[in-house]
Amino acid sequence: MKNCEYQQIDPHALPTPTPTPPPHHGSDGDKKEEPKRPRRKWEVFPGKNRFYCDGRIIVARQSGVLPLTLGLILVTSGLFFIFDCPFLVKHLTSCIPVIGGGLFVFVVITLLQTSFTDPGILPRATPDEAADIEKQIDNTGNTSYRPPPRTKEVLINQQVVKLKYCFTCKMFRPPRTSHCSLCDNCVERFDHHCPWVGNCVGKRNYRFFYTFIVSLSFLTAFIFGCVTTHLALRAQGGKGLVFALQESPGSAVELVICFFSVWSILGLSGFHTYLVASNLTTNEDIKGSWSGKSGEDVTNPYSHKNIFINCCTMLCGPMPPSLIDRRGFLPADESVQTAGPDIELPTLATKSEINVKGGTGRALLLTEHSINK
Can residue 324 be called a binding residue for Zn ion (CB under 5 A)?
no
Closest to Zn ion by CB, 96 vs 137, is 137
Interface pick for Zn ion out of 179, 204, 326, 362 (rule CB under 5 A): 179
Query: Which pairs with CB-CB distance under 8 Å and at least 24 residues apart come from 65-70?
Result: 65/195, 65/196, 65/198, 66/115, 66/196, 66/197, 66/198, 68/196, 69/111, 69/196, 69/197, 70/108, 70/111
Binding residues for Zn ion, rule CB under 5 A, total: 10
The distance of closest approach from Cβ of residue 333 to Zn ion in the complex, given in angstroms and rounded to an integer, is 26
Can residue 186 be called a binding residue for Zn ion (CB under 5 A)?
yes
Q: Cβ neighbours of residue 354 under 8 Å, at least 6 residues apart?
A: 3, 4, 5, 6, 154, 155, 156, 371
Closest to Zn ion by CB, 201 vs 330, is 201
Can residue 354 be called a binding residue for Zn ion (CB under 5 A)?
no
Can residue 130 be called a binding residue for Zn ion (CB under 5 A)?
no
Closest to Zn ion by CB, 193 vs 304, is 193
Burial class (CB in 10 A: 0-12, 13-18, 19+), 248: buried
DSSP string, 68-137: HHHHHHHHHHHHIIIIIHHHHHHHT-THHHHHHHHHHHHHHHHHHHHHHS---EEPPPPHHHHHHHHHHH
CB 338 within 8 A of CB 46: yes
Can residue 163 be called a binding residue for Zn ion (CB under 5 A)?
no
Can residue 182 be called a binding residue for Zn ion (CB under 5 A)?
yes
Rounded Cα distance between 356 and 7, Å, is 10
Q: Which one of the listed residues 194, 200, 226, 258 is annotated catalytic?
A: 194
Q: Cβ neighbours of residue 26 under 8 Å, at least 6 residues apart?
A: 34, 35, 36, 37
The distance of closest approach from Cβ of residue 144 to Zn ion in the complex, given in angstroms and rounded to an integer, is 30
Query: Are β-strands 351-355 and 151-156 bridged in parallel, bridged antiparallel, or unpaired?
Result: parallel
Closest to Zn ion by CB, 137 vs 166, is 166
Can residue 194 be called a binding residue for Zn ion (CB under 5 A)?
no
Closest to Zn ion by CB, 37 vs 162, is 162
Can residue 180 be called a binding residue for Zn ion (CB under 5 A)?
yes
> Phi then psi for 350, rounded to 5 degrees?
-115, 160
Interface pick for Zn ion out of 62, 140, 168, 370 (rule CB under 5 A): 168
Q: Which helix (H) or strand (E) holds 46?
A: none
Closest CA to 209 of 284, 315, 73: 315
CB 171 within 8 A of CB 132: no
Can residue 166 be called a binding residue for Zn ion (CB under 5 A)?
yes
Closest to Zn ion by CB, 182 vs 298, is 182
Rounded Cα distance between 296 and 33, Å, is 65
Closest to Zn ion by CB, 200 vs 265, is 200
Can residue 326 be called a binding residue for Zn ion (CB under 5 A)?
no
The distance of closest approach from Cβ of residue 49 to Zn ion in the complex, given in angstroms and rounded to an integer, is 9
Can residue 59 be called a binding residue for Zn ion (CB under 5 A)?
no
Is residue 95 flagged as an active site residue? no
Interface pick for Zn ion out of 176, 192, 193, 204 (rule CB under 5 A): 193
CB 17 within 8 A of CB 30: no
Can residue 201 be called a binding residue for Zn ion (CB under 5 A)?
no
Interface pick for Zn ion out of 133, 183, 201, 226 (rule CB under 5 A): 183
Q: Which stretch binds Zn ion (CB under 5 A): 33-41, 45-53, 199-207, 353-361?
A: 199-207
As a residue count, the chain comes to 373
Can residue 258 be called a binding residue for Zn ion (CB under 5 A)?
no
Q: Give contact residues for Zn ion (rule: CB under 5 A).
A: 166, 168-169, 179-180, 182-183, 186, 193, 200
Instruction: Write out the catalytic residue numbers.
Output: 194
